[in-house]
Amino acid sequence: MPIQFTCPHCGLQTNVADEYAGQSGPCARCGKTITVPPVGGGPVYAPPPKRTSGPAVLVIVLVAALGIVVVCGGIMAALLLPAVQAAREAARRSQCTNNLKQIALAMHNYHDTYGSFPPAYLADKNGKPMHSWRVLLLPFLEQQALYEQYNFDEPWDSPANQRIASTVVPVYNCPSNPNTSSPQTSYVMLVGPGTISDGASATKIQDIADGSSNTILVIEATGTSIGWTEPRDLDATKITFEVNEPMGGEIESLHPGGVNCAMCDGAVRFLSDTIDPKTVRGMSTISGGEAVEAF
């Protein structure tokens, strides 16, 4: 008895012999696999289509994965940023320390050559500051060629010397300064009566009665806008001696927590911004007899 059934894919009605009941094969019209129902009738089943991972599914998976990577990467970057910034500042502070060590060594080599540390400035016949100690140190900082171009017969701000003043001397600029290409200096003397230099006066090591390890030779002052050839430093009679004063002072740096300074024995110390200003004042004099607390 023939079996009548309909292709579930294309709707083709077909009669087949009952000997093919329950068997599968291709539809004569659409070619898709069909199964002949058993004798007595019943539903015709087609094998379910194979499940594949098409391009759309792959794109969705990739986008999701990339999203996770971006989010995780952003979180990791945010967590690592403070550590990276701290490491960079530590490196800049270390370089600043090295700058001051070079300056202190140059000061001592100058002392060996001329019998004293350089004065804060050389004055003209009327006592007006004419040339800075930073210019005098050039030969001892491997800057002999620049030193020879400087005209000591003219003031520091003459047209000829201004060309020298525009030259950047890296050792005079703290690397924490955002404008390291500036010809300004980050390092100054504390100048005034009883200090390492009263302007045009020069001091010998044997004159430092308070001890060379207790007396400041050069200190950071990044906010003063002093050009490195300018014969100007910090007037010890006019400053507060507070380190990194919140409202903006004189003794300051861009290092978190304090400033670097070179002592007269050549050592470099870090003065915390919590140090008592009286202690800093005592460290500025060569023979004041002040009790300098540990720092």
* In a shared domain, residues 155 and 227: yes
Name the nearest CA neighbour of 183 among 194, 191, 193, 171: 171
- Domain of 7? 3-35
Dist. CA 139–CA 137, nearest whole Å: 6
Q: Is position 221 within any domain?
A: yes
* In a shared domain, residues 15 and 99: no
Q: Is position 191 within any domain?
A: yes
**Tokens encoding 38:** 């058993």
pTM of the shown model:
0.70
Q: Is position 113 within any domain?
A: yes
Q: Is position 66 within any domain?
A: no
Name the nearest CA neighbour of 47 among 28, 29, 27: 27
Total domain count for the chain?
A: 2
Dist. CA 110–CA 107, nearest whole Å: 5
* In a shared domain, residues 161 and 262: yes
* In a shared domain, residues 12 and 138: no
- Name the residue type at position 77: A
Could you list the pLDDT tens digit for every one of the 295 residues in the chain? 666 767 777 777 767 666 666 777 777 666 677 776 766 554 444 444 445 445 554 444 444 555 554 455 556 545 554 666 677 878 888 899 999 999 999 999 999 999 999 999 999 999 999 999 999 999 999 999 999 999 999 999 999 999 999 999 999 999 888 776 778 899 999 999 999 999 999 999 999 999 999 999 999 998 788 999 999 999 999 999 999 887 666 899 888 899 999 999 999 999 999 999 999 999 999 987 776 665 5
Three-state SS at 115: coil
Dist. CA 26–CA 126, nearest whole Å: 116
* In a shared domain, residues 95 and 29: no
CB 228 within 8 A of CB 169: yes
* In a shared domain, residues 15 and 92: no
CB 154 within 8 A of CB 160: yes
Q: Is position 94 within any domain?
A: yes
Longest distance between any two alpha carbons in the chain, whole Å: 136
